[in-house]
Structure 1
Amino acid sequence: MYRFKINQLSDLDGFLTKVSGRMPKNRESYRKTILASAAFCLLAMLIGIGAFFVPGLAVVLFFAFCLMAAVIAGLVVLGGLIGLSRDAMELRGQPYYSTRPRECSAGAFVHLRRKLLRLMPGSPARLRLWPGEWVEVRPFSEIAMTLDDEGRLDGLPFMPEMRRYCGGRHRVFRRVEKIHHYYGPTAPHLRRLRDAVLLDELRCDGAGHGGCQAGCQLIWKEAWLSPSDGAKADRPAPEAVDASRLDACAKINAADGEERYACQMTELPKATTRLSWRDPRHYWRELRSGNVRPGPFIVAVALALFNTVQRKLRSAEAPYREPTDRKTSPKEVLDLQPGELVRVKTRRQIEETLNHVSKNRGLWFDREMHRFCGGEFRVASVVRTIVDEASGKMLTMGSACIVLAGVSATGEYLGLCPQNELIFWHEIWLERVAPRA
């Protein structure tokens, strides 16, 4: 639900001003940027309209420049209004997550597009799949022919956990045109991935990687798939082909003797190339590929432009968290179990549990998590062990992390990255809706 109501904003601002004697600093900063950007947008439009009536090629180019400047300034205004609206809802404890899928639906256009692509010459490995299309995972005997000695295609591993889906039919969830790389000396940055998709909610169960519970969504190269009619029945996966090398490739013999693992997440840097945040094409690819509808796309671009301006001005970005100088963070044990109904605490309550770097015992309270504050969800799973993406080591959590059903990252603040990562919650950020029976 991407929405904002100006009357609610004014009422809340008036209430906060009466209570505190002045408007909160972040909201005051938002309003200044909105007003300045609106004035710049209006000025650029007036100058452009005036120049439009003067003949000449240079004047036409100047008009186009003014029009582009006005559009960008208008998007900054929109991003600021969205930031104000969301901040108001967070203060009221009202969640603003969307229940609608961000992907475009597969309609008649997608079916016509597939028929036209079949008539075009080109490599069968490049299917140019669209979200919502049905595909069949090729038999493992065919997939094995695409893999190198390390069980990879273009640097991306085909993992043991993926073999049980061979022969099955699934819908394309999203294309993976890029990933967000957030560890290592050069992180964070974007990286380009080609000819890859996500299917349905097919996630790694960690069976081939020491029981890792991260639940990462599996990435499929298009060479491992073929277009299919979803009405057909699945074919059983063939068992005659030896897949033992997949298990061998999933483990690494480290020099220190410690057992380590190699999976798609640890090897993504080798399967991708560096991508610049400043290159606007990575936004365009998400829209062109059907990964995002126009509405969420405009919201994400508007917030990115607004936060860029705020960053340049060294002002508060959206969403906002009250800074603290605490060096330690508290702990609370609820012993939550899958199936229990919980409520995410308000932003104010969660802020009181964070240290000076917005962490609670090593776990970030990320910007993606703000939208769920105040919402009620079922506990999907309890995570205690994960493979560290930077080193490949198996890590044991100091305290269990909670995964909530239907709660995953949207990528809105990360260039609309499509990875659909699960969000981990500490129990201190949650509360039971009803006492355990």
Structure 2
Amino acid sequence: MPASQWRAGDWVQVRSREEILATLDEQGRLDGMPFMPEMLAFCGQTLRVFKRAHKTCDTIAYSGIRKLERTVQLEVRCDGSAHGGCEAACSLFWNEAWLRPAAAPGAPEPLSRATPAAPRARGCSIEQLMAATQQGQDPEKGPRYACQATEILNASQPMSNYDMGQYVEDYRSGNVGLGTLLRGTVYRVSMYVLRRADRWGRRIGLGDALARAVMAGYDLLQRLLPHGIPFPRRQGLVPSGQQTPQQGLGGIGPGSCVRVKPYREILATLDGSNKTRGLYFDAEHVPYCDKEFRVRSLVNQIVDERTGYMLRFKSPSIILESAVCQGAYSDNRMFCPRSIYPYWRPIWLTPVERLRGKDGSAAEL
């Protein structure tokens, strides 16, 4: 049975605040998932399903992939207004009980499908909903916030990476296209071979020569494929003990047009832990290298989902429009639909005058 009746691209209407509040407990939650005050602004709106949220990654304990039930993500994001101005712009989780089927704008209304919104708890007031955004305060750290990201473990269950049904649902739900599915599969098989090649190479005295040969073979294959991505888990080139280079924002800001530098150039700015000034460059960044985007926003502070306290950056990071984590090059969270925005350092980007694509990207991935 699918985790949701809706697929990516379906249209739904968000129920009224009264209907939604009636489904919540006194902590503003349904099945452990908070309905946050930021979501009230979308009540009554007709929105499109971005992805079926049948699973999610664990960014708290890093335990792997987690299972969700009757949940989707819509084409809207949290603005952080009820959580101290958090700027992470997380994709929001929507329980089916908070939604009803709807037609696309201008299309005939769909046949009714059963989407009961009957109360499943005592109900929650607006005052209780607002109060539930905080769980105490520290004299030095400030408020301790609670949101969907901090409570994800309470709203989900463990899922095995070897549960093949999740990957079938990734495709059937419309979350993942066949091309992304195949690229991710090739990557996972290559990682399996690489780790064993590295182990055997060191055992027989060849060092990392076998592993480097596997990476070279991967790169060769990717050059032959449309939209091929080079091996995305290479190590940064800044020598140990040497500081990584620093670069200010310059003229980069919301609405600016930038081009992500080639992967090799970015590797030259990363240390052995693949960080530039403390910010990690992940394998999920690599598909966006050498492509053009528009800057969505600058990030100065986010709620730390592990502690609930506000985490303030020493220097702003950058979010690029449409550049999200695909979960295609990640261990233990393959094809996670959460679509978290990766953060970018200015030194990884080059300003450009304009973009060719309407959605902020010059090329399809």
TM (norm. structure 2) is: 0.77
218, 229, 248: which one pairs with 2:131? 248
Shift of 1:310: 1.6
Q: Distance in 1 between matches of 2:300 and 2:4?
A: 38
Shift of 1:289: 2.1
103, 118, 127: which one pairs with 1:229? 103
191, 198, 223: which one pairs with 2:66? 191
Is 1:143 the equivalent of 2:20?
yes
1:174-232 per-residue CA deviation (whole Å, 9 max, x = no partner) reads: 10111111333xx24111111110112x0000000000000001110111111112337
Q: Which has the higher helix share?
A: 1
User: In terms of Rg, which structure is larger?
Assistant: 1
Shift of 1:242: 4.7
Q: Which residue of structure 1 aligns with residue 301 of structure 2?
A: 385
Change (3 A) 1:339 1:242: same
Letter in 1 for 2:269: T
Q: Larger deviation: 175-184 or 418-427?
A: 175-184
Is 1:321 the equivalent of 2:234?
yes
Q: Which residue of structure 2 aligns with residue 116 of structure 1?
A: none
Shift of 1:244: 1.9
**Matched position secondary structure for 2:135:** strand
Q: Which residue of structure 1 aligns with residue 183 of structure 2?
A: 299
1:120-169 per-residue CA deviation (whole Å, 9 max, x = no partner) reads: xx9xxx85111111111111111111111110011100000000111111
Asked if structure 2 preserves the Cα contact closer than 8 Å seen for 1:178 and 1:191, the reply is yes
1:331-357 per-residue CA deviation (whole Å, 9 max, x = no partner) reads: 110232212222212222211211111
Asked if structure 1 preserves the Cα contact closer than 8 Å seen for 2:36 and 2:147, the reply is yes
Q: Which residue of structure 1 aligns with residue 170 of structure 2?
A: 286
Q: Which residue of structure 1 aligns with residue 246 of structure 2?
A: 331
1:98-137 per-residue CA deviation (whole Å, 9 max, x = no partner) reads: xxxxxxxxxxxxxxxxxxxxxxxx9xxx851111111111
30, 33, 36: which one pairs with 1:159? 36
Long gaps (5+) in structure 2:
108-123, 199-210, 216-230, 355-365
Shift of 1:375: 1.6
**Matched position secondary structure for 2:149:** helix
Q: Distance in 2 between matches of 1:351 and 1:127?
A: 40
Change (3 A) 1:313 1:182: farther
Q: Distance in 1 between matches of 2:171 and 2:148?
A: 25
Asked if structure 2 preserves the Cα contact closer than 8 Å seen for 1:326 and 1:354, the reply is no
Q: Which residue of structure 1 aligns with residue 156 of structure 2?
A: 272
**Matched position secondary structure for 1:179:** strand
Q: Which residue of structure 2 aligns with residue 394 of structure 1?
A: 310
Q: Which residue of structure 1 aligns with residue 86 of structure 2?
A: 212
Asked if structure 2 preserves the Cα contact closer than 8 Å seen for 1:383 and 1:401, the reply is yes
Q: Which residue of structure 2 aligns with residue 45 of structure 1?
A: none
Letter in 1 for 2:135: I
Q: Which residue of structure 2 aligns with residue 349 of structure 1?
A: 265
For 1:31-46, list aligned pairs within 5 A. Answer: none
Asked if structure 1 preserves the Cα contact closer than 8 Å seen for 2:258 and 2:292, the reply is yes
Q: Distance in 1 between matches of 2:103 and 2:162?
A: 39
Asked if structure 1 preserves the Cα contact closer than 8 Å seen for 2:55 and 2:66, the reply is yes
For 1:63-82, list aligned pairs within 5 A. Answer: none
Asked if structure 1 preserves the Cα contact closer than 8 Å seen for 2:240 and 2:271, the reply is yes
Is 1:376 the equivalent of 2:292?
yes
Q: Distance in 1 between matches of 2:266 and 2:178?
A: 32
**Matched position secondary structure for 1:301:** helix
1:295-324 per-residue CA deviation (whole Å, 9 max, x = no partner) reads: 322222222122122223323563242454
Letter in 2 for 1:150: Q
Q: Distance in 2 between matches of 1:191 and 1:322?
A: 29
Shift of 1:256: 6.2
Q: How well do the aligned residues superpose, as a CA RMSD in angstroms?
A: 2.3
Shift of 1:370: 1.2
Q: Distance in 1 between matches of 2:71 and 2:183?
A: 25
Is 1:427 the equivalent of 2:335?
no
Asked if structure 1 preserves the Cα contact closer than 8 Å seen for 2:317 and 2:343, the reply is yes
Matched residues, percent identical? 39
TM (norm. structure 1) is: 0.65
Letter in 2 for 1:330: P
Q: Distance in 2 between matches of 1:218 and 1:269?
A: 15
Change (3 A) 1:231 1:371: closer
**Matched position secondary structure for 1:264:** coil
Asked if structure 2 preserves the Cα contact closer than 8 Å seen for 1:409 and 1:421, the reply is yes
**Matched position secondary structure for 1:183:** coil
